[in-house]
Amino acid sequence: MLSLFQQALQNPSKIALVDQSKSYSFGSLTEKAKYIASCLLQEKADLREARVAYMVSPGFDYVSVQWGIWMAGGIAVPLCITYPLPSLQYVMEDTGAEILLTGPEYEELLAPFSGDSRIRFIRLSDGIPDNISDLPIIHPDRGAMILYTSGTTSLPKGVMTTHGTIEAQISTLIDAWKWTAEDYTLCLLPLHHVHGIINVVSCALWAGATVEFIHPFDAKQVFGIFLKGKVNVFMAVPTIYFKLIAQFESESEERKSAISAQFGQFRLMVSGSAALPVSVMEKWQQLSGHYLLERYGMTEIGMAISNPYEGERKAGYIGKPLPGVQIRLVDENQQEVPAGEPGEIQVKGPSVFKEYWGKTEATQKSFTADGWFMTGDIAVVEEGYFKILGRDSVDIIKSGGYKISALEIEEVLRKHPEIKDCGVVGLPDEEWGELVAAAIISSKKLADKDLNAWIRERMPAYKTPRKYLFLDELPRNAMGKVVKNDLKKLFPTTEK
């Protein structure tokens, strides 16, 4: 039996999940998962890595389905519940999913698949028979899950991980972040992404902790749950922290005091999935007393680098390699860079994915000859801490012979009193190669010359944006990460 399920069996009466104010024990979760596994198997002894797609709202049914797929020997393919039909069709076709389970809310959207003779269509609203079949033995080297990359630079690729890979990812975080059965966490992150499905739900359940679900996200409701005094571990993305700060500032003084007092009960708050602006980090610390733990990971590798649970957490830095994860920085010739020099992050270890599903060439191109996964992210080590400079393809701007970090410019711009948020990109230019361009969200229109004068007091002239664009919001993906290629398209082209 997989280690994740063994942990759940140790205390079957303990509350595992809270979903819409209803509680479910580890025993009821395991039982429901076995029913689903038996339904999936029908008369088969083993699904033998058949891809099983599912679109289910976050909560008890979601986790039951995921566990049931794994118990039956299938590969879980979680579908993003906000995707339009064409995006879902892409995932279904790319994985060759043979079975599709749907929650009641998504039956209408997924109805076109019900007529496909190649796909077994299962509606949870029809009920799951309460019988349990003999379940197969699942070895760690078998395929477990296909999650899709964000597709910010190309078509999304299916990242296939094994059970062994997932167990390595979970166990590393259990140790690094000191998870225990006494923890209580809140899940408000998408569950088609490693942050929600691994870092929050799987880590909590492995440790025997409790997960409460909120869907959809509501900042006022989050604080309401905090005030109940149970939550002590919280993980979110920068945009959620930004929204929580805004909500906090709108609360009454009495409620602010109550929320602030409750923050003292938390032992861990984590931010990830996108770069955390230092301004957000500092503001959150002011109102909560917590210095957010920032870490670095990818769909392909789980978490690889983290600020310490105990010890100094440095704003603007992602920390140090997690135990069992090998990290190196290399130049364009695959040579390790000298200390203090920027280089591409490359990763090796048991937490690294197996392959891009159905894309042998893409998989081969993502690894070096000696087995290092090439992340495409550029970083530098300063005083032992890794600092992300950006993604080579979108965040490193090559202008006039310089390599400029878009993230560095964004951090400076966010310090401007009138700038709420921003996104910096490189636009193609015949003379310079790329021009630095900044999209600004501001409460009022700012003059380009005034912005340039302000930023040149803080950065070298060659890093000063040549173009500005004022927007109401930045294009983001489901995890709140700015989609830089979409942002570039919003800048008007200039005819020469």
Query: What CATH number is attached to the domain comprising 201?
Result: 3.40.50.12780
Percentage of the chain with pLDDT > 70?
Answer: 98
Token pair, residue 17, equals: 């999940």
Same domain, 372 and 436: no
Are 345 and 411 in a shared domain?
A: no
Q: What CATH number is associated with residue 443?
A: 3.30.300.30
- Which pLDDT band, with edges at 50, 70 and 90, does 432 fall under? confident
Closest CA to 50 of 167, 124, 146: 146
| pLDDT over 70 at 481, yes or no | yes
CA 147 – CA 300 distance, rounded (Å): 9
What letter would DSSP give residue 321? E
Give yes or no: residues 273 and 228 share one domain. yes
Q: Is residue 441 part of a domain?
A: yes
Place of tokens 């062994």: 164
Give the Cα separation of 229 and 262 in Å (integer).
7
pLDDT at residue 496 is higher than 90:
no
Identify the DSSP state of 200: I
Domain span holding position 230: 196-391
pLDDT at 166: 97
Within 13 A of 376's CA, how many CA atoms are on the CB side?
13
Tell me: do 294 and 408 sit in the same domain: no
Same domain membership, residue 381 and residue 284: yes
145-149: list long-range contacts, CB under 8 Å, 24+ apart. Answer: 145/75, 145/76, 145/77, 145/78, 145/197, 146/51, 146/75, 146/76, 146/77, 146/95, 146/357, 147/78, 147/192, 147/193, 147/194, 147/197, 147/299, 148/80, 148/91, 148/192, 148/299, 149/299, 149/300
| Domain endpoint, select from 369, 391, 413 | 391
Please check whether residue 490 is in contact with residue 471, taking contact to mean a CB–CB distance below 8 angstroms.
yes
Q: Say if residue 333 is in the same domain as residue 412.
A: no
Query: Which residues neighbour 221 within 8 Å (Cβ) at sequence distance 6 or greater?
Result: 214
Determine the average pLDDT of the residues in 189-209.
94
**Pair 313, 404 in one domain:** no
- Residue 95 within a domain: no
Q: Within this chain, do residues 365 and 403 fall inside the same structural domain, yes or no? A: no
Asked whether residue 7 carries a pLDDT value surpassing 50, the answer given is: yes
Categorize the per-residue pLDDT at 35 as very low, low, confident or very high, splitting at 50, 70 and 90.
very high
What angle do helix axes 107-114 and 85-95 make, rounded to 10 degrees?
50
By mean pLDDT, which of 83-97, 396-410, 465-479 is the weakest?
396-410
Asked if residue 172 belongs to a domain, the reply is: no
Determine the Cα–Cα distance for residues 377 and 395; give it in Å rounded to an integer.
9
With respect to residue 268, please indicate whether it lies within any of the assigned structural domains. yes
Residue 164 lies in a domain: no
Q: Is the pLDDT of residue 493 over 90?
A: no
Kind of pairing between the strands at 51-55 and 233-236: unpaired
Q: Which residues, 6 or more positions from 268, have their beta carbon under 8 angstroms from its beta carbon? A: 177, 178, 232, 233, 234, 293, 309
Which conformational region is residue 362 in: left (phi greater than 0), alpha (psi within -120 to 50 degrees), or beta?
alpha
Same domain, 312 and 450: no
Domain assignment of residue 253, yes or no: yes
Residues 463, 469, 471: CA angle, nearest 5 degrees = 130
The verdict on 351 and 432 lying in the same domain is: no
Q: pTM to 2 decimals?
A: 0.85
Q: Average the pLDDT over each of 40-49, 57-66, 142-151 and give the range with the smallest value.
A: 142-151
How would you write 348-377 as a 3-class SS string?
ECCCCCCEECCCHHHHHHCECCCCCEEEEE
What is the residue whose two structure tokens read 């709202």? 57
Domain boundary among 391, 423, 438: 391
Judgement on whether residues 241 and 368 belong to the same structural domain of the protein:
yes
Examine the domain organization and report whether 286 and 331 are in the same domain. yes
| Domain assignment of residue 183, yes or no | no
Residue 93: pLDDT band with limits 50, 70, 90: very high
| pLDDT band at residue 158 using 50, 70 and 90 as cut-offs | very high
Contact 199, 192 (CB under 8 A): no
Residue 495 has pLDDT above 50, yes or no: no
Q: Is residue 413 part of a domain?
A: yes
Please count the structural domains in the chain. Answer: 2
Q: Which of 391, 407, 434 is the last residue of a domain?
A: 391
pLDDT, mean of residues 175-185: 97
Instruction: Tell me the average pLDDT across 42-66.
Output: 97
